[in-house]
Amino acid sequence: MAELATEKHVSYILSVEKRKDNFESVVMEHLRMSGAYWGLTALDLLGKLDSVDVEEVTSWLLSCQHESGGFGGNVGHDPHILYTLSAVQVLALFDKMDVINVDKVTNYIVSLQNEDGSFSGDMWGEVDTRFSYIAICCLSILHRLDKINVEKAVKYILSCKNMDGGFGCTPGGESHAGQIFCCVGALAITGSLDLVDKDLLGWWLCERQVKSGGLNGRPEKLPDVCYSWWVLSSLTMIDRVHWISKEKLVKFIIDCQDTENGGISDRPDDAVDVFHTFFGVAGLSLLEYAGVKPIDPAYALPVDVVNRIFFTK
């Protein structure tokens, strides 16, 4: 079997930042903060985080912070909880949490919790279990989980559980592997995994593996490398990874590499992007692929980073 083209992927990730001459890349600038998280975490997992200029990244990152405490996807863009987590995760990678006012970021997130325990993404009120995960993950990294009503937050997440064992965006929303990751991740961080029906959920999740070895995110969909992360991390958290074939999944991810120019795509022979490159590498990390640092399935950060957050104080 072919191997992971680590060097190529590193240079691909570093090159993405410099490409600003075509419409397709410029039009993604509103989510640059998430792009930074995907790219930098992938670099760290591949052991190459030192190839970026920390000062440059942090000063740009700080210029994306809004006076409310939240972060925008890029300079001048409105703040949103999505980019706030990405910013905090990037700072965690660099061990640079001291550059932000933690209480300010905390207040922003706390202000987004609703009466029923759910979280809005920003002041405009869209509710989604993704935002519950983000709030919980972010506050946990900042050691401020006690500032929200965790009990209500957990209750809301459980109200989004379906009869198939999966979770949706809001109560009654269709089960989706990405949403499942968020809900299971939030429950894992809050120590509430006992409230998940692991057998039922594990069954649904392992049925995501298709003949080619890849995983899809919903029934009848094509496999996609990003679900190597969403499905696999969820299975890991509920201890049911052995219900899928790990070997076949490794092969699927490896087959999605562009071995010439670097990067990983959603499916073999498609165009690569930094999003799928990160999730491919993260999937391989959970599959204990040699040469890739281990990743934490709930925080989506390298295990050594998570350890540093919680065990050095």
Partner 1 sequence: MSEESDSKVEAMDLLRQLEDILESDALIDELGFIHPSQFPLLKEESDISSSLSYEASHQSEDGIVSSVESSKQDNIYFWNRDHKLGISTHVLLPLYRTVKHAFMITFKQYRMCDNQSDKVGICLPASSCDHLESTLLRHSKSLLVLSCDFMTAWNCRKLIVSKKQQLSMFVDELLLSELVLSYSPKSEQAWNHRRWVIKSISGNCSNFKEILGKESELVEKIAERSKMNYRAWNHRCWLVSYMTIEQVLCELKKSRSWAALHVADNCCFHYRRKLLLKMMEGQSCLDDVVSCGHNVNIVQALKDELDWNETLIKRYVGREALWLHRRFLSMCWINNFVPDSGDESYHSKEATGLYHDFGTFLQNELCLLHSCSTFVDDDFVDVQAQAAHSACYILWLKVQVPKPLVNELQEKIRDVDLKTFLNKSCPERSSLFNYFIN
296, two tokens: 């934490």
For residue 224, give Cα distances in angstroms to 32, 43, 209, 276, 295.
22, 21, 10, 9, 20
* Residue 6 and residue 293 in contact, taking contact as beta carbons nearer than 8 Å: no
* Residue 209 and residue 215 in contact, taking contact as beta carbons nearer than 8 Å: yes
251, two tokens: 């092969």
Nearer to partner 1, 72 or 297 (CB): 72
286, two tokens: 């959970």
Nearer to partner 1, 72 or 302 (CB): 72
For the bound state, the minimum distance from the C-beta of residue 150 to partner 1, rounded and expressed in Å, comes to 25
For the bound state, the minimum distance from the C-beta of residue 49 to partner 1, rounded and expressed in Å, comes to 28
Nearer to partner 1, 40 or 169 (CB): 169
For the bound state, the minimum distance from the C-beta of residue 122 to partner 1, rounded and expressed in Å, comes to 8
Query: Which residues are at the interface with partner 1 (CB under 8 A)?
Result: 22-23, 26-27, 30-31, 72-73, 76-78, 80, 122, 124-126, 163-164, 168-170, 172-176, 199, 202-203, 206-207, 209, 211, 218-221, 242-243, 245, 248
For the bound state, the minimum distance from the C-beta of residue 311 to partner 1, rounded and expressed in Å, comes to 34
Chain-centroid distance, C-alpha 278: 9
For the bound state, the minimum distance from the C-beta of residue 37 to partner 1, rounded and expressed in Å, comes to 17
For the bound state, the minimum distance from the C-beta of residue 10 to partner 1, rounded and expressed in Å, comes to 28
CB neighbour list of residue 101: distance below 8 Å, 6 or more residues apart: 69
Nearer to partner 1, 193 or 210 (CB): 210
198, two tokens: 């692991």
Nearer to partner 1, 21 or 53 (CB): 21
Nearer to partner 1, 97 or 206 (CB): 206
Give the closest residue to 157 by CA, choosing from 139, 181, 121: 181
Rounded to whole angstroms, how far apart are CA atoms 199 and 191?
18
